[in-house]
Structure 1
Amino acid sequence: MLLLKLALVPASILLATLAARRFGHAISGLLAGFPIIGGPIVAALLIDLPPARVADIAQATLSACPAAIAHIVCFAWLSRRLPWWGCLAGAAIAFFTVGSLMTASWMPAALAAAMALAGPFVAWAMMPRAAASAGAVHVPNGEVLMRVGAGFALAAAIILGSGHLPAAVSGLMLAWPISGSILPSFTLPVHGHAATVTLLRGFAIGLVGFVAFFAALVLLLRAWDSGPPAFAAATAVSALAGLTVHRIRQRVRR
Protein backbone atom coordinates (compact mmCIF):
# COMPACT_ATOMS: atom_id res chain seq x y z
CA MET A 1 0.00 0.00 0.00
CA LEU A 2 2.85 2.40 0.83
CA LEU A 3 4.49 1.79 -2.53
CA LEU A 4 1.15 2.40 -4.25
CA LYS A 5 0.77 5.72 -2.44
CA LEU A 6 4.30 6.75 -3.32
CA ALA A 7 3.87 5.74 -6.95
CA LEU A 8 1.15 8.36 -7.43
CA VAL A 9 3.63 11.22 -7.10
CA PRO A 10 6.28 10.17 -9.63
CA ALA A 11 3.41 9.26 -11.95
CA SER A 12 2.24 12.89 -11.82
CA ILE A 13 5.76 14.15 -12.55
CA LEU A 14 5.93 11.75 -15.48
CA LEU A 15 2.63 13.18 -16.74
CA ALA A 16 3.96 16.75 -16.59
CA THR A 17 7.17 15.70 -18.34
CA LEU A 18 5.30 13.94 -21.14
CA ALA A 19 3.10 17.02 -21.47
CA ALA A 20 6.24 19.11 -22.00
CA ARG A 21 7.32 16.71 -24.73
CA ARG A 22 3.99 17.10 -26.49
CA PHE A 23 2.74 20.60 -25.72
CA GLY A 24 5.68 22.62 -24.37
CA HIS A 25 6.83 24.27 -21.15
CA ALA A 26 3.69 26.31 -20.42
CA ILE A 27 1.33 23.30 -20.31
CA SER A 28 3.89 21.28 -18.38
CA GLY A 29 4.04 24.01 -15.74
CA LEU A 30 0.26 24.31 -15.66
CA LEU A 31 -0.17 20.59 -14.95
CA ALA A 32 2.64 20.61 -12.40
CA GLY A 33 0.98 23.44 -10.47
CA PHE A 34 -2.28 21.52 -10.04
CA PRO A 35 -2.54 19.29 -6.94
CA ILE A 36 -1.58 16.22 -8.99
CA ILE A 37 1.13 15.69 -6.37
CA GLY A 38 -0.53 17.17 -3.27
CA GLY A 39 -3.84 15.50 -4.12
CA PRO A 40 -2.52 11.91 -4.15
CA ILE A 41 -0.54 12.59 -0.96
CA VAL A 42 -3.69 13.88 0.76
CA ALA A 43 -5.58 10.82 -0.46
CA ALA A 44 -2.91 8.63 1.11
CA LEU A 45 -3.11 10.59 4.38
CA LEU A 46 -6.90 10.19 4.49
CA ILE A 47 -6.42 6.41 4.46
CA ASP A 48 -4.20 6.47 7.53
CA LEU A 49 -5.30 9.56 9.50
CA PRO A 50 -8.64 10.88 10.82
CA PRO A 51 -10.27 13.68 8.78
CA ALA A 52 -9.68 16.24 11.53
CA ARG A 53 -5.95 15.59 11.46
CA VAL A 54 -5.85 15.87 7.65
CA ALA A 55 -7.87 19.09 7.89
CA ASP A 56 -5.20 20.55 10.19
CA ILE A 57 -2.47 19.56 7.71
CA ALA A 58 -4.50 20.99 4.82
CA GLN A 59 -4.95 24.24 6.75
CA ALA A 60 -1.21 24.48 7.31
CA THR A 61 -0.58 23.70 3.64
CA LEU A 62 -2.95 26.47 2.58
CA SER A 63 -1.18 28.88 4.93
CA ALA A 64 2.17 27.87 3.44
CA CYS A 65 1.10 28.42 -0.19
CA PRO A 66 2.65 31.92 -0.28
CA ALA A 67 5.95 30.18 0.44
CA ALA A 68 5.55 28.17 -2.77
CA ILE A 69 4.89 31.44 -4.58
CA ALA A 70 8.08 32.92 -3.16
CA HIS A 71 9.95 29.79 -4.27
CA ILE A 72 8.95 29.91 -7.94
CA VAL A 73 9.27 33.69 -8.30
CA CYS A 74 12.72 33.60 -6.71
CA PHE A 75 13.81 30.73 -8.97
CA ALA A 76 12.58 32.61 -12.06
CA TRP A 77 14.51 35.78 -11.23
CA LEU A 78 17.69 33.98 -10.21
CA SER A 79 17.64 31.96 -13.44
CA ARG A 80 18.74 35.10 -15.27
CA ARG A 81 22.22 34.85 -13.75
CA LEU A 82 22.72 31.67 -11.70
CA PRO A 83 22.99 27.97 -12.56
CA TRP A 84 20.13 25.68 -11.59
CA TRP A 85 21.62 24.70 -8.22
CA GLY A 86 22.08 28.34 -7.22
CA CYS A 87 18.50 29.10 -8.23
CA LEU A 88 17.22 26.10 -6.26
CA ALA A 89 19.20 27.08 -3.16
CA GLY A 90 17.92 30.66 -3.28
CA ALA A 91 14.36 29.49 -3.90
CA ALA A 92 14.57 27.10 -0.94
CA ILE A 93 15.71 29.92 1.34
CA ALA A 94 12.80 32.06 0.14
CA PHE A 95 10.38 29.16 0.69
CA PHE A 96 11.39 28.43 4.26
CA THR A 97 11.65 32.11 5.21
CA VAL A 98 8.13 32.90 4.01
CA GLY A 99 6.78 29.52 5.15
CA SER A 100 8.01 29.96 8.71
CA LEU A 101 6.21 33.31 8.90
CA MET A 102 2.98 32.10 7.31
CA THR A 103 2.66 29.02 9.52
CA ALA A 104 3.57 30.81 12.75
CA SER A 105 1.02 30.49 15.56
CA TRP A 106 0.39 34.25 15.62
CA MET A 107 -0.61 34.39 11.94
CA PRO A 108 -4.44 34.72 11.60
CA ALA A 109 -5.82 31.82 9.56
CA ALA A 110 -8.12 34.11 7.57
CA LEU A 111 -5.24 36.37 6.55
CA ALA A 112 -3.10 33.39 5.56
CA ALA A 113 -5.94 31.98 3.45
CA ALA A 114 -6.51 35.34 1.73
CA MET A 115 -2.81 35.63 0.91
CA ALA A 116 -2.81 32.06 -0.43
CA LEU A 117 -5.79 32.76 -2.73
CA ALA A 118 -4.13 35.91 -4.08
CA GLY A 119 -0.72 34.27 -4.36
CA PRO A 120 -0.89 32.77 -7.89
CA PHE A 121 -1.94 36.11 -9.38
CA VAL A 122 0.80 37.93 -7.46
CA ALA A 123 3.31 35.38 -8.75
CA TRP A 124 2.19 35.93 -12.34
CA ALA A 125 2.61 39.71 -11.97
CA MET A 126 6.04 39.39 -10.35
CA MET A 127 7.56 37.03 -12.92
CA PRO A 128 10.46 38.47 -14.94
CA ARG A 129 9.76 39.46 -18.53
CA ALA A 130 10.94 36.86 -21.00
CA ALA A 131 9.85 35.72 -24.42
CA ALA A 132 7.37 32.85 -24.16
CA SER A 133 8.83 29.52 -25.19
CA ALA A 134 6.33 27.49 -27.23
CA GLY A 135 6.24 24.11 -28.91
CA ALA A 136 7.13 20.56 -28.01
CA VAL A 137 10.21 19.95 -25.86
CA HIS A 138 12.72 17.13 -26.18
CA VAL A 139 13.25 15.49 -22.78
CA PRO A 140 15.74 12.58 -22.79
CA ASN A 141 14.65 9.33 -21.12
CA GLY A 142 17.49 9.58 -18.60
CA GLU A 143 16.25 12.97 -17.49
CA VAL A 144 12.72 11.59 -17.12
CA LEU A 145 14.02 8.87 -14.80
CA MET A 146 15.92 11.41 -12.69
CA ARG A 147 12.82 13.59 -12.37
CA VAL A 148 10.66 10.65 -11.31
CA GLY A 149 13.25 9.39 -8.82
CA ALA A 150 13.61 12.79 -7.18
CA GLY A 151 9.84 13.12 -6.90
CA PHE A 152 9.57 9.67 -5.32
CA ALA A 153 12.18 10.54 -2.68
CA LEU A 154 10.49 13.83 -1.74
CA ALA A 155 7.06 12.21 -1.56
CA ALA A 156 8.40 9.45 0.69
CA ALA A 157 9.71 12.04 3.15
CA ILE A 158 6.32 13.79 3.27
CA ILE A 159 4.13 10.69 3.60
CA LEU A 160 6.34 8.89 6.14
CA GLY A 161 6.78 11.99 8.29
CA SER A 162 3.24 13.36 8.21
CA GLY A 163 1.86 11.02 10.87
CA HIS A 164 4.56 11.93 13.41
CA LEU A 165 5.31 15.59 12.78
CA PRO A 166 3.25 18.60 13.91
CA ALA A 167 0.54 19.61 11.46
CA ALA A 168 2.33 22.88 10.68
CA VAL A 169 5.50 21.04 9.68
CA SER A 170 3.61 18.48 7.60
CA GLY A 171 1.64 21.26 5.92
CA LEU A 172 4.81 23.16 5.09
CA MET A 173 6.33 20.00 3.63
CA LEU A 174 3.21 19.38 1.57
CA ALA A 175 3.35 22.95 0.22
CA TRP A 176 6.92 22.41 -0.98
CA PRO A 177 6.72 22.73 -4.80
CA ILE A 178 8.15 19.34 -5.81
CA SER A 179 7.51 19.82 -9.52
CA GLY A 180 8.34 23.50 -9.14
CA SER A 181 11.79 22.44 -7.94
CA ILE A 182 12.49 19.48 -10.19
CA LEU A 183 11.15 20.65 -13.55
CA PRO A 184 12.87 24.09 -13.68
CA SER A 185 16.11 22.59 -12.38
CA PHE A 186 16.20 20.38 -15.47
CA THR A 187 14.75 22.99 -17.82
CA LEU A 188 17.22 25.80 -17.07
CA PRO A 189 20.51 24.12 -18.06
CA VAL A 190 19.02 22.57 -21.20
CA HIS A 191 16.55 25.17 -22.50
CA GLY A 192 17.63 28.40 -20.80
CA HIS A 193 16.09 31.29 -18.89
CA ALA A 194 13.14 32.06 -21.18
CA ALA A 195 11.91 28.46 -21.16
CA THR A 196 12.29 28.33 -17.37
CA VAL A 197 10.21 31.48 -16.91
CA THR A 198 7.57 30.10 -19.30
CA LEU A 199 7.42 26.91 -17.25
CA LEU A 200 7.12 28.77 -13.95
CA ARG A 201 4.45 31.11 -15.32
CA GLY A 202 2.41 28.04 -16.16
CA PHE A 203 3.14 26.69 -12.69
CA ALA A 204 1.82 29.91 -11.14
CA ILE A 205 -1.47 29.57 -13.03
CA GLY A 206 -1.68 25.91 -12.04
CA LEU A 207 -1.32 26.95 -8.40
CA VAL A 208 -4.80 28.46 -8.64
CA GLY A 209 -6.07 24.88 -8.70
CA PHE A 210 -3.70 23.91 -5.88
CA VAL A 211 -4.90 26.71 -3.60
CA ALA A 212 -8.55 26.09 -4.46
CA PHE A 213 -8.13 22.40 -3.64
CA PHE A 214 -6.76 22.98 -0.16
CA ALA A 215 -9.13 25.84 0.64
CA ALA A 216 -12.12 23.67 -0.30
CA LEU A 217 -10.67 20.64 1.47
CA VAL A 218 -10.28 22.49 4.76
CA LEU A 219 -13.86 23.78 4.69
CA LEU A 220 -15.37 20.46 3.62
CA LEU A 221 -13.44 18.25 6.02
CA ARG A 222 -14.41 20.47 8.95
CA ALA A 223 -18.05 20.57 7.80
CA TRP A 224 -18.53 16.91 6.87
CA ASP A 225 -15.82 15.09 8.84
CA SER A 226 -15.78 12.55 6.01
CA GLY A 227 -12.72 12.08 3.84
CA PRO A 228 -13.84 10.63 0.46
CA PRO A 229 -16.68 13.06 -0.39
CA ALA A 230 -14.64 16.04 0.81
CA PHE A 231 -11.68 14.93 -1.29
CA ALA A 232 -13.84 14.39 -4.39
CA ALA A 233 -15.55 17.78 -4.06
CA ALA A 234 -12.25 19.59 -3.44
CA THR A 235 -10.78 17.95 -6.54
CA ALA A 236 -13.73 19.18 -8.62
CA VAL A 237 -13.34 22.71 -7.24
CA SER A 238 -9.62 22.61 -8.03
CA ALA A 239 -10.15 21.54 -11.63
CA LEU A 240 -12.88 24.10 -12.21
CA ALA A 241 -10.86 26.99 -10.74
CA GLY A 242 -7.64 26.17 -12.55
CA LEU A 243 -9.19 25.55 -15.93
CA THR A 244 -11.36 28.68 -15.68
CA VAL A 245 -8.33 30.88 -15.03
CA HIS A 246 -6.40 29.14 -17.81
CA ARG A 247 -9.19 29.79 -20.34
CA ILE A 248 -9.59 33.40 -19.26
CA ARG A 249 -5.85 33.86 -19.71
CA GLN A 250 -5.99 32.36 -23.18
CA ARG A 251 -8.82 34.71 -24.22
CA VAL A 252 -6.96 37.75 -22.87
CA ARG A 253 -3.85 36.80 -24.84
CA ARG A 254 -5.90 36.60 -28.04
Structure 2
Amino acid sequence: MNILLVKVTLMPLVIGLITIISRKWGYKVGGLIASMPWIAGPILLFFILEQGKAFGIRSVPGILTGIISLISFCYCYAQLSKRFNWLVTILISYLVYVLVAVVFDFFRINLFAIYGITLTCVVLALYFFPVPADHQPQAKRLPFDMVIRMAVATLFVILITGLATILGPTWSGILTPFPIITSILAIFTHYLQGNSATITVLRGLVSGLFGFTTFLFLQAFLLREFSVGVSFLLALIVNLIINYIVSRMW
Protein backbone atom coordinates (compact mmCIF):
# COMPACT_ATOMS: atom_id res chain seq x y z
CA MET A 1 0.00 0.00 0.00
CA ASN A 2 1.30 3.46 -0.90
CA ILE A 3 1.26 5.28 2.44
CA LEU A 4 1.58 8.71 0.80
CA LEU A 5 -1.50 7.93 -1.29
CA VAL A 6 -3.42 7.06 1.88
CA LYS A 7 -2.35 10.36 3.47
CA VAL A 8 -3.46 12.53 0.56
CA THR A 9 -6.81 10.74 0.16
CA LEU A 10 -7.82 10.11 3.78
CA MET A 11 -7.22 13.60 5.17
CA PRO A 12 -9.44 15.49 2.68
CA LEU A 13 -12.26 13.02 3.36
CA VAL A 14 -11.91 13.46 7.12
CA ILE A 15 -11.92 17.25 7.12
CA GLY A 16 -14.77 17.31 4.61
CA LEU A 17 -16.85 14.98 6.79
CA ILE A 18 -16.25 17.03 9.94
CA THR A 19 -17.15 20.26 8.12
CA ILE A 20 -20.44 18.77 6.91
CA ILE A 21 -21.29 17.48 10.40
CA SER A 22 -20.53 20.86 11.96
CA ARG A 23 -22.79 22.64 9.50
CA LYS A 24 -25.62 20.15 9.94
CA TRP A 25 -25.64 19.58 13.72
CA GLY A 26 -23.97 22.69 15.10
CA TYR A 27 -20.64 23.80 16.50
CA LYS A 28 -20.81 21.85 19.75
CA VAL A 29 -21.37 18.53 17.98
CA GLY A 30 -18.78 19.47 15.38
CA GLY A 31 -16.19 20.11 18.07
CA LEU A 32 -16.98 16.86 19.84
CA ILE A 33 -16.71 14.89 16.60
CA ALA A 34 -13.48 16.70 15.70
CA SER A 35 -11.92 15.47 18.95
CA MET A 36 -12.02 11.88 17.70
CA PRO A 37 -8.63 10.48 16.59
CA TRP A 38 -9.21 11.38 12.94
CA ILE A 39 -5.70 12.77 12.49
CA ALA A 40 -3.71 11.42 15.45
CA GLY A 41 -4.93 7.87 14.81
CA PRO A 42 -3.78 7.76 11.17
CA ILE A 43 -0.51 9.54 12.03
CA LEU A 44 0.20 6.96 14.74
CA LEU A 45 -0.67 4.25 12.22
CA PHE A 46 1.75 5.78 9.70
CA PHE A 47 4.45 5.88 12.39
CA ILE A 48 3.94 2.16 12.98
CA LEU A 49 3.87 1.28 9.28
CA GLU A 50 6.93 3.37 8.48
CA GLN A 51 9.00 3.13 11.69
CA GLY A 52 7.71 -0.03 13.41
CA LYS A 53 5.33 -0.85 16.25
CA ALA A 54 7.97 -0.16 18.94
CA PHE A 55 8.39 3.38 17.60
CA GLY A 56 4.62 3.89 17.83
CA ILE A 57 4.48 2.65 21.43
CA ARG A 58 7.39 4.88 22.46
CA SER A 59 5.65 7.87 20.90
CA VAL A 60 2.53 7.55 23.11
CA PRO A 61 3.87 9.60 26.10
CA GLY A 62 4.87 12.31 23.65
CA ILE A 63 1.40 12.24 22.11
CA LEU A 64 -0.19 12.72 25.52
CA THR A 65 2.17 15.65 26.13
CA GLY A 66 0.99 17.02 22.81
CA ILE A 67 -2.63 16.79 23.99
CA ILE A 68 -1.81 19.07 26.92
CA SER A 69 -0.40 21.50 24.37
CA LEU A 70 -3.58 21.06 22.32
CA ILE A 71 -5.70 21.95 25.35
CA SER A 72 -3.55 25.05 25.87
CA PHE A 73 -3.98 25.95 22.21
CA CYS A 74 -7.79 25.65 22.40
CA TYR A 75 -8.07 27.66 25.60
CA CYS A 76 -5.70 30.35 24.33
CA TYR A 77 -7.49 30.65 20.99
CA ALA A 78 -10.90 30.84 22.69
CA GLN A 79 -9.74 33.64 24.99
CA LEU A 80 -7.87 35.65 22.36
CA SER A 81 -10.58 35.30 19.71
CA LYS A 82 -12.68 37.79 21.68
CA ARG A 83 -10.09 40.55 21.10
CA PHE A 84 -8.03 39.74 18.01
CA ASN A 85 -8.52 38.60 14.44
CA TRP A 86 -7.87 35.00 13.40
CA LEU A 87 -4.26 35.57 12.22
CA VAL A 88 -2.98 37.12 15.45
CA THR A 89 -4.93 34.59 17.50
CA ILE A 90 -3.65 31.54 15.63
CA LEU A 91 0.00 32.66 15.73
CA ILE A 92 -0.05 33.28 19.48
CA SER A 93 -1.91 30.02 20.07
CA TYR A 94 0.69 28.09 18.05
CA LEU A 95 3.43 29.69 20.15
CA VAL A 96 1.63 28.60 23.33
CA TYR A 97 1.34 25.05 21.94
CA VAL A 98 5.09 24.82 21.36
CA LEU A 99 6.06 26.42 24.69
CA VAL A 100 3.83 24.05 26.69
CA ALA A 101 5.25 21.08 24.76
CA VAL A 102 8.83 22.18 25.49
CA VAL A 103 8.12 22.59 29.21
CA PHE A 104 6.51 19.18 29.62
CA ASP A 105 9.10 17.46 27.43
CA PHE A 106 11.83 18.84 29.72
CA PHE A 107 10.42 16.98 32.74
CA ARG A 108 10.07 13.61 30.92
CA ILE A 109 6.98 12.52 32.87
CA ASN A 110 6.06 8.82 32.81
CA LEU A 111 3.04 7.45 30.97
CA PHE A 112 0.59 7.13 33.89
CA ALA A 113 1.46 10.55 35.30
CA ILE A 114 1.10 12.32 31.95
CA TYR A 115 -2.25 10.58 31.40
CA GLY A 116 -3.53 11.85 34.75
CA ILE A 117 -2.17 15.34 34.14
CA THR A 118 -3.81 15.45 30.72
CA LEU A 119 -7.25 14.51 32.05
CA THR A 120 -6.85 17.07 34.85
CA CYS A 121 -6.00 19.74 32.28
CA VAL A 122 -9.16 18.89 30.34
CA VAL A 123 -11.28 19.36 33.47
CA LEU A 124 -9.60 22.66 34.37
CA ALA A 125 -9.84 23.99 30.82
CA LEU A 126 -13.57 23.23 30.66
CA TYR A 127 -14.13 24.85 34.06
CA PHE A 128 -12.41 28.09 33.09
CA PHE A 129 -13.41 28.11 29.42
CA PRO A 130 -14.86 31.44 28.24
CA VAL A 131 -18.61 31.67 27.76
CA PRO A 132 -19.79 32.53 24.24
CA ALA A 133 -21.90 35.64 23.78
CA ASP A 134 -25.58 35.25 22.96
CA HIS A 135 -25.29 37.47 19.89
CA GLN A 136 -24.01 35.74 16.77
CA PRO A 137 -22.88 37.93 13.86
CA GLN A 138 -24.17 37.14 10.39
CA ALA A 139 -22.08 34.41 8.81
CA LYS A 140 -19.73 35.36 5.99
CA ARG A 141 -19.19 33.28 2.90
CA LEU A 142 -15.84 32.16 1.55
CA PRO A 143 -15.53 30.58 -1.92
CA PHE A 144 -14.00 27.11 -2.02
CA ASP A 145 -13.57 26.98 1.77
CA MET A 146 -14.04 23.19 1.79
CA VAL A 147 -11.23 22.72 -0.73
CA ILE A 148 -8.90 25.00 1.28
CA ARG A 149 -9.63 23.07 4.51
CA MET A 150 -8.89 19.75 2.82
CA ALA A 151 -5.63 20.97 1.28
CA VAL A 152 -4.29 22.43 4.54
CA ALA A 153 -5.11 19.27 6.54
CA THR A 154 -3.36 17.06 3.97
CA LEU A 155 -0.21 19.20 3.91
CA PHE A 156 0.00 19.17 7.73
CA VAL A 157 -0.20 15.39 7.91
CA ILE A 158 2.39 14.85 5.18
CA LEU A 159 4.78 17.27 6.88
CA ILE A 160 4.48 15.77 10.37
CA THR A 161 4.79 12.14 9.27
CA GLY A 162 7.61 13.04 6.88
CA LEU A 163 9.61 14.53 9.77
CA ALA A 164 9.20 11.45 12.00
CA THR A 165 12.63 10.00 11.22
CA ILE A 166 14.37 13.30 12.00
CA LEU A 167 12.37 14.14 15.12
CA GLY A 168 12.37 10.71 16.79
CA PRO A 169 9.47 9.13 18.73
CA THR A 170 9.17 11.77 21.47
CA TRP A 171 8.76 14.91 19.35
CA SER A 172 6.96 12.99 16.62
CA GLY A 173 4.48 12.05 19.34
CA ILE A 174 4.25 15.60 20.64
CA LEU A 175 3.39 16.86 17.16
CA THR A 176 0.85 14.09 16.51
CA PRO A 177 -2.04 15.98 18.22
CA PHE A 178 -0.88 19.22 16.57
CA PRO A 179 -4.08 21.24 16.03
CA ILE A 180 -4.59 20.46 12.35
CA ILE A 181 -8.36 19.97 12.35
CA THR A 182 -8.62 22.31 15.33
CA SER A 183 -6.80 25.11 13.51
CA ILE A 184 -8.94 24.71 10.42
CA LEU A 185 -12.17 24.70 12.43
CA ALA A 186 -11.03 27.61 14.61
CA ILE A 187 -9.79 29.84 11.79
CA PHE A 188 -12.73 29.30 9.45
CA THR A 189 -15.32 29.53 12.24
CA HIS A 190 -13.65 32.64 13.66
CA TYR A 191 -13.51 34.35 10.28
CA LEU A 192 -16.93 33.29 9.00
CA GLN A 193 -19.09 33.07 12.16
CA GLY A 194 -17.28 35.12 14.82
CA ASN A 195 -15.70 34.38 18.18
CA SER A 196 -18.85 33.06 19.93
CA ALA A 197 -19.17 30.20 17.47
CA THR A 198 -15.42 29.62 17.74
CA ILE A 199 -15.61 29.32 21.54
CA THR A 200 -18.47 26.83 21.21
CA VAL A 201 -16.67 24.56 18.76
CA LEU A 202 -13.41 24.65 20.74
CA ARG A 203 -15.21 23.84 23.98
CA GLY A 204 -16.85 20.90 22.26
CA LEU A 205 -13.46 19.73 21.06
CA VAL A 206 -11.87 20.00 24.52
CA SER A 207 -14.74 18.04 26.07
CA GLY A 208 -14.04 15.25 23.60
CA LEU A 209 -10.42 14.98 24.73
CA PHE A 210 -11.39 12.66 27.61
CA GLY A 211 -12.03 9.93 25.04
CA PHE A 212 -9.24 10.97 22.70
CA THR A 213 -6.65 10.88 25.49
CA THR A 214 -7.83 7.46 26.62
CA PHE A 215 -7.72 6.12 23.05
CA LEU A 216 -4.05 7.03 22.78
CA PHE A 217 -3.19 5.95 26.32
CA LEU A 218 -4.57 2.47 25.65
CA GLN A 219 -2.32 2.05 22.60
CA ALA A 220 0.72 1.79 24.88
CA PHE A 221 -0.73 -1.49 26.19
CA LEU A 222 -2.96 -2.85 23.43
CA LEU A 223 -0.27 -2.65 20.75
CA ARG A 224 1.92 -4.99 22.83
CA GLU A 225 -0.76 -7.68 22.89
CA PHE A 226 -2.79 -7.29 19.70
CA SER A 227 -2.48 -6.38 16.06
CA VAL A 228 -2.68 -2.74 15.07
CA GLY A 229 -6.21 -3.17 13.72
CA VAL A 230 -7.56 -4.81 16.88
CA SER A 231 -5.76 -2.31 19.14
CA PHE A 232 -7.23 0.65 17.32
CA LEU A 233 -10.71 -0.89 17.21
CA LEU A 234 -10.85 -1.66 20.95
CA ALA A 235 -9.57 1.80 21.89
CA LEU A 236 -11.97 3.45 19.44
CA ILE A 237 -14.94 1.69 21.06
CA VAL A 238 -13.81 3.04 24.45
CA ASN A 239 -13.37 6.50 22.88
CA LEU A 240 -16.93 6.43 21.51
CA ILE A 241 -18.40 5.33 24.84
CA ILE A 242 -16.60 8.12 26.70
CA ASN A 243 -17.68 10.71 24.11
CA TYR A 244 -21.29 9.56 24.41
CA ILE A 245 -21.18 9.90 28.20
CA VAL A 246 -19.60 13.35 27.95
CA SER A 247 -22.19 14.50 25.40
CA ARG A 248 -25.01 13.41 27.72
CA MET A 249 -23.45 15.17 30.72
CA TRP A 250 -22.73 18.45 28.88
TM-score by length of 2: 0.90
Structure 1: which 5+ runs fail to align? 250-254
Looking at structure 2, the residues matched to 132 and 108 of structure 1 have their Cα atoms a distance apart, in angstroms, of 42
Contact 1:63–1:102 under 8 Å retained in 2:
yes
Contact 2:28–2:203 under 8 Å retained in 1:
yes
Per-residue deviation, residues 180-215 of structure 1 (Å, max 9, x unmatched): 111111111211111110110111112222111101
The aligned counterpart of 1:229 is: 230
Looking at structure 2, the residues matched to 100 and 30 of structure 1 have their Cα atoms a distance apart, in angstroms, of 27
The aligned counterpart of 1:241 is: 242
The aligned counterpart of 1:97 is: 99
Matched to 1:240, the amino acid is: I
- SS in structure 2 of the partner of residue 80 of structure 1: coil
Contact 1:220–1:230 under 8 Å retained in 2:
yes
Matched to 1:79, the amino acid is: S
Per-residue deviation, residues 112-141 of structure 1 (Å, max 9, x unmatched): 22111223222211211114689xx88756
What is the Cα deviation at residue 108 of structure 1? 3.7
Q: Which moved more, 1:21-30 or 1:224-233?
A: 224-233
Per-residue deviation, residues 118-172 of structure 1 (Å, max 9, x unmatched): 23222211211114689xx887561111111110110101121223421111011
Contact 1:216–1:237 under 8 Å retained in 2:
no
Alignment partner for residue 77 of structure 1, among 79, 96, 111?
Answer: 79
Matched to 1:239, the amino acid is: L
The aligned counterpart of 1:145 is: 147
- SS in structure 2 of the partner of residue 166 of structure 1: helix
- Show the 5 A alignment for 1:95-134: 95-104=97-106, 106-131=108-133
Looking at structure 1, the residues matched to 133 and 199 of structure 2 have their Cα atoms a distance apart, in angstroms, of 9
Matched to 1:227, the amino acid is: V
Looking at structure 2, the residues matched to 9 and 214 of structure 1 have their Cα atoms a distance apart, in angstroms, of 19
TM-score by length of 1: 0.89
Contact 2:142–2:192 under 8 Å retained in 1:
no
Looking at structure 2, the residues matched to 43 and 11 of structure 1 have their Cα atoms a distance apart, in angstroms, of 17
Contact 1:27–1:202 under 8 Å retained in 2:
yes
What is the Cα deviation at residue 231 of structure 1? 1.8
Contact 2:190–2:198 under 8 Å retained in 1:
yes
Runs ≥4 residues deviating over 6 A: none
